[in-house]
Structure 1
Amino acid sequence: MTAILDQLRTAPRSVLGKLPGISSDDDESRRPLPVSGMLAAAITLGAGLAVLTTLTIVGWMAAPRGTLGQGLPGVFRTAAQIWLAAHHAGFDIPGGRVGLLPLGLMVLPALLLYKAGRWMARDADLRLRLPARLPKNSPKDQANARRRAQLVLVVQAGVSLAAPYAMLAGGIALVTTNDITKPSIGEALVSHFILAFLAGALATARTIGPWRVMPRLLPERVRAVTVGTAVATAIMLVAGLGLVLVAVVLNFDQVRALSDVLAPGFVGGVLLLLVQLLYLFNAVIWGLAYIAGPGFSVGADTLVAPTGVQLGTVPSLPMLGALPDSGPAPAWLMAVIALPFAAGAVAGVVVARISPSPAYEAAPLWGFLTGVTTGLAAAALAALSGGPIGGGRLTVVGPPVWEVALSVALEVGVAAGISAGVTNLLLLNRRARAPLDKAAAPVRKAGAAIARAAGKVGLAESDTRPLPGHWMDATEADTQPIPVIRDDWQDEHATAAAETLAQARPRAPLDQSRSSRKDIVDESDDKGGHVIYVDPYAWDRD
C-alpha cells in the first residue's frame, strides 16, 4: 500500500493540478492537506477490503459446503461487514444484536491508517503557521507558540484523514445492509472517525519528531498526567495478560477438550486459532477488570471475579475453557487486587518526576487525577471488549463499564496520590540541599513575579530609575541602531575616583594636575573658536 501511495506523489498531479487551488508546476509542490487526506483514506479503505476479501474467499472455500454460497457478491458483502467489525462497528441480526467483536481485528486497519498518515504527512503542505508577533518574544514564548502550532497541525492532519474515511465507511455500511445483518451506520461513522483520527494524528506527530519527544508537544502538566495514565494502564494490561496465560496453562485440559468437540479439521483449526488470537485482546481487558475487582460476565446472571465465580452455559469457544469453576475463589487469589495499587504507585512517581510541584499539597492532587484518567481509560477499554452476542442470556458479556471505571480510579488514584506526594517531597528536599544559588533561583523568580503582580495592581511603587540609554523596544531594534560608547570616553564614576586619588596625593604642578581629567578641556584655550564640547552622557539623560 505504501508503494501505491508513493506513486500518487507524482502520477495524479497532472489531473489534480487542474483543480482550483492546486499547483502542479513542479514535483516539489505540496498538495493541500484535505486532498492528501482524501487520497490516503481511499487507498487505505481499498487495500483493507482487498485483504479481507481474499481471506473471506479462503474461509468460504474451506467451509463444509465447499461452495461460495451466495456467490461473489455475498463474499464481497461479508468482507465489507468484517471490515466494519474490525473498526468495532456492531450490527443487528434477527432476534438480537452482535456487539462482542474481536479487538485484534483493529490491528489491520490501524496499521494501514498509520502508513497512510505517514504518507499524508510527507505529501501534504504541513508548514507551521506561527504568530506574527508575540507579547514578549522570549525563547519560552517562541517555544510555546511553536508547540501550539504543532498541536494544531496534528489535529488538522487527523481530521483530514478521518473525515473522508468515515464518510466512505458510512457508504459501505449502507451498501452491505441486507435482511439478515444490518450494520449500525452511526457506530460505523464514529468508530472509523476515531480510529483514523488517532492514527493520522499519531503519524503526523511522529513525522515532527521521534517517539521520545512526541510527549513534549503537550504542556508539562498535561504531559505528566498523560504519561502517568499510559504507564498505569500498561502495567494493568500486562498483569491482565499474565493472568490470562496462567489461566490457560492451568486449565489447558478443558481448552483441548472443547477443541476436540468442535473437530474443525486442519483449515478450520487454523481459522479457529486465528479467531481466538483476535479475541485475546478482549480477554486481556477482562483480566484487567478481574484484577481491578468488578470482574466480568459471560451471560446474564454470571460473574467471574476475585470474590467468587458463578457460571452457566458458555459459548463453545475453546479459550473459554480457561474460565475457573463456579464457587468461591481461593483466598490467595485476592492478592491480585494489589496490582492496581502497584500500578498507581509507579504512575505517581512518573507524574512527580516529570512535573514536580513547588506546593506540597498539589502533587497528591495531580497523582489522584492520574488515577481518574486511568479509570476513564479502563472504562473505554471495558466498553470495547464487551457487548452482546445475539439475544437471550448472551446480551450481557464483558466487564461492567462504570464499576471498572470507579474501582480503577480509586485504587490507582489513591496509590498515585501518595507516591506522587512522597516523590515530590523527596525532590524538593534534594533541591533544598543543593548550592544556595541554585536553591534560591525559584524563590527569586517567585518573588519577582509577585513584585510584578503587585506593581500592576498598585500595591508597589513602580521603578523610578530611568532606563539605560541603549534600551529600546524589540520592534524598534530591527530598524534603529543601538548607540555605542566610544573607547576614549570614561565613566563618570571612574573619573571621580581618579580625581579623589589625585587630591589625596601631594599637589603637583598645574600642567600635570590638568592631565588627571582628560575628558575636560581647558576653556581658556578656545583654539580660535573651533572647539566643540560634547557630553558623552547627554543621550542618557533624555
Structure 2
Amino acid sequence: MKRTPVALLAALEALIALAISVGVLVVPATLIWAIGTGFSEFWALFWRTSVDFWLLGHGVHLNVTLSPETVAPFGLPGASAPFVLSLAPIAITALVIWLAFRSGTRSADSGHPITALIAGTVTYALLSCGVVFTSGSELISTDRVTGLIFPPLVFAASMALGLVVARYRAGERIPFDTLPERLGEPRHTMVFAALRAGALASGALIGAAGVLVAILLLVNYPLIIGLYESTELGVGGGVVITLAQLLYLPTLVLWAAAWLIGPGFAVGAGSVFSPLGTIAGPLPAVPVLGILPSSSSPLTWILLIVPLLCGFLAGLWIRRSRVESGELSLGEGAITVAGSAVVSGIILGLLAWFAAGAFGPGRLAEMGPTAWIVGLVFAGEILLGGLAGLVSGRAVTAVENAQTSGFADRIGTR
C-alpha cells in the first residue's frame, strides 16, 4: 500500500478514536441536557464538562471552583475553595489506549508503519487542540499546555506499542529484540519469558481485584442505595453521579489490587484501607464508596495469599514452558523469575501511580495508593511466589528429554 492511503487510514482511525472517547461522555451529557433540563440550559456547558473529564482521562489536571450550593449534598467541608482535580477516570484512559493500540496493530502490515504512526499522532493532536480550546467553564479550568501535549502523547505511545506487538507476533525484527540475541540465546529467552511472566502475574492480580470489587458491590448494594437516597440529587443528579462512578470503576479495581498486595490505599489524608489495618476518616457521600470496609479483620489477612498465588502462577509457567523444555536451566529460570518480579512491580507501580491523585479539597487531595510502595511489595511477593512455582515440580533437562526420546524411538523400532 502506498504512503498516502496509509496516512489517510491512520488519520481516519485517529479521528474515530477521538470521536468515540469523547462521544461516550458527550452523548450521556446531551441526553441529560435534553431530558433533565428540558433544553433550558446552554448545551455548551455540558460539552465543556464532558471534554474536561476527557482531558482528565489523559492526565491533564483540572482547577475546580464550586459554589457552596453545589457541594452541600456531598458533605465536603471547605469544598467551595479552589482545588485541583487530578484523579484520572481510567475508563476513558483505557478506552483511548485500546483504540490507539488497535490502530497500531492494523497499521503494522501496511508497509509504512512509521508513516501511519506520524499521521495518526498528528491528526489526534490537531483534533485534541479543538477539544482543549473548547474546554473549561466558570467552575473548571484546564492547563492548556498539558492539554495540548498529553492527549497526543498517550495516543502515540499506545499506537507505537500496537505496532511493536504486531511486528513481534509476525516474527519480524523489533528494535529491542536484537540486543538480547547478541548476548546469547539463553539471555534472549530469559528476557522475553520474564516480560511475559510479569505481565501474566500482573494481569492475574488485576483480575482478582476485579472479582473482589464485583463481590463488594453485590454485598454492599443496600448501603450504596442508601447513600444514593441521602444525596437527594434527584433523577438527573443520580444519573450524573452514576456515570461518573462508572468512569472511575477501573480506578477502584486498581485500589483493590493495592489492597490485595498489602499497602492498600488512602481515601483522604490520614486514612488507610489495608488488610493489615484500616483507618477510615470522614468520607464524601459518594455512593460507590460504600464498598469500603469500615474496619479490618484478621480473616482479611488470608487474602494476602492472592499476590503470592499470582507469583506462583508465573513461576509455574516459566518452569513448564522454558525449564522443562530445556530452553533454560533451573538457575536461569530463577533469574527469569526475578526478572518477572521486576516487571510486575513496574507494571503495578505505574498503574498505582495513575490511580492516585486529588479528588477534592482539603484531605481529599490525597487519594489512592502510594505507587512505589505498591510496586516494591508486589515485586517481592511475585519473587517469593515465583520461586515456589519454579521448584514445585522436578525440572526435566534437555539431556533427559533426549534420553526419553531415544528410548521411545528404540521401542518403536521393535
Relative to the length of structure 2, the TM-score reads 0.78
Deviations 1:83-120 (A, max 9, x none): 22333432222422101232122354345435644665
The 1:232/1:115 distance shift into structure 2, 3 A limit, reads closer
CA distance in 1, matches of 2:85, 2:302: 35
The 1:58/1:244 distance shift into structure 2, 3 A limit, reads same
In structure 1, the partner of 2:140 is: 181
In structure 2, the partner of 1:41 is: 14
- Cα deviation, residue 76, structure 1: 3.3
- Aligned Cα RMSD in Å? 3.4
In structure 2, the partner of 1:343 is: 310
In structure 2, the partner of 1:382 is: 352
The 1:68/1:431 distance shift into structure 2, 3 A limit, reads farther
Q: Which runs of 5+ in 1 are unaligned?
A: 1-27, 127-152, 439-542
In structure 2, the partner of 1:363 is: 333
* 1:224 partner amino acid: A
In structure 1, the partner of 2:263 is: 294
Deviations 1:102-156 (A, max 9, x none): 212235434543564466557x543xxxxxxxxxxxxxxxxxxxxxxxxxx5x77
Q: Which runs of 5+ in 2 are unaligned?
A: 66-81, 178-187, 409-414
The 1:80/1:247 distance shift into structure 2, 3 A limit, reads closer
* 1:251 partner amino acid: N
* 2:13 partner amino acid: A
Instruction: Give 1 or 2: higher helix fraction.
Output: 2
SS at match of 1:425: coil
The 1:49/1:249 distance shift into structure 2, 3 A limit, reads closer
Q: Does 1:86 align with 2:57?
A: yes
Contact 1:285 1:385 in 2 (8 A): yes
In structure 2, the partner of 1:473 is: none
In structure 2, the partner of 1:280 is: 249
In structure 2, the partner of 1:331 is: 298
SS at match of 1:248: helix
* 2:26 partner amino acid: T
SS at match of 1:31: helix
In structure 1, the partner of 2:372 is: 402
In structure 2, the partner of 1:102 is: 89
Relative to the length of structure 1, the TM-score reads 0.61
Contact 2:322 2:328 in 1 (8 A): no
SS at match of 2:63: strand
In structure 1, the partner of 2:222 is: 253
- Cα deviation, residue 159, structure 1: 5.2
1:113 to 100, 107, 121: 100
* Aligned-residue identity in percent: 24
Q: 5 Å matches for 1:462-481?
A: none
- Cα deviation, residue 42, structure 1: 3.8
In structure 1, the partner of 2:33 is: 60
Single out whichever of 92-101 and 175-184 deviates more from structure 2.
175-184
CA distance in 1, matches of 2:407, 2:158: 46
The 1:189/1:420 distance shift into structure 2, 3 A limit, reads farther
Deviations 1:298-340 (A, max 9, x none): 10000010111111111211111111114xx221210111111
CA distance in 1, matches of 2:89, 2:270: 23
The 1:272/1:51 distance shift into structure 2, 3 A limit, reads closer
SS at match of 2:302: helix
- Cα deviation, residue 184, structure 1: 3.4
| Structure index of larger Rg | 1
* 1:60 partner amino acid: W
* 1:255 partner amino acid: I
CA distance in 2, matches of 1:288, 1:274: 22
CA distance in 1, matches of 2:329, 2:3: 49
Contact 1:228 1:370 in 2 (8 A): yes
Which of 1 and 2 has higher RCO (CA within 8 Å, sep 6+)? 2
SS at match of 2:354: helix
- Cα deviation, residue 170, structure 1: 4.7
- Cα deviation, residue 422, structure 1: 5.5
Q: 5 Å matches for 1:429-468?
A: 430-431=400-401, 433-435=403-405
Work out the number of aligned pairs and report it.
377
Contact 1:86 1:105 in 2 (8 A): yes
- Cα deviation, residue 350, structure 1: 2.0
CA distance in 2, matches of 1:284, 1:361: 35
CA distance in 2, matches of 1:367, 1:427: 18
- Cα deviation, residue 423, structure 1: 5.9
* 1:109 partner amino acid: V
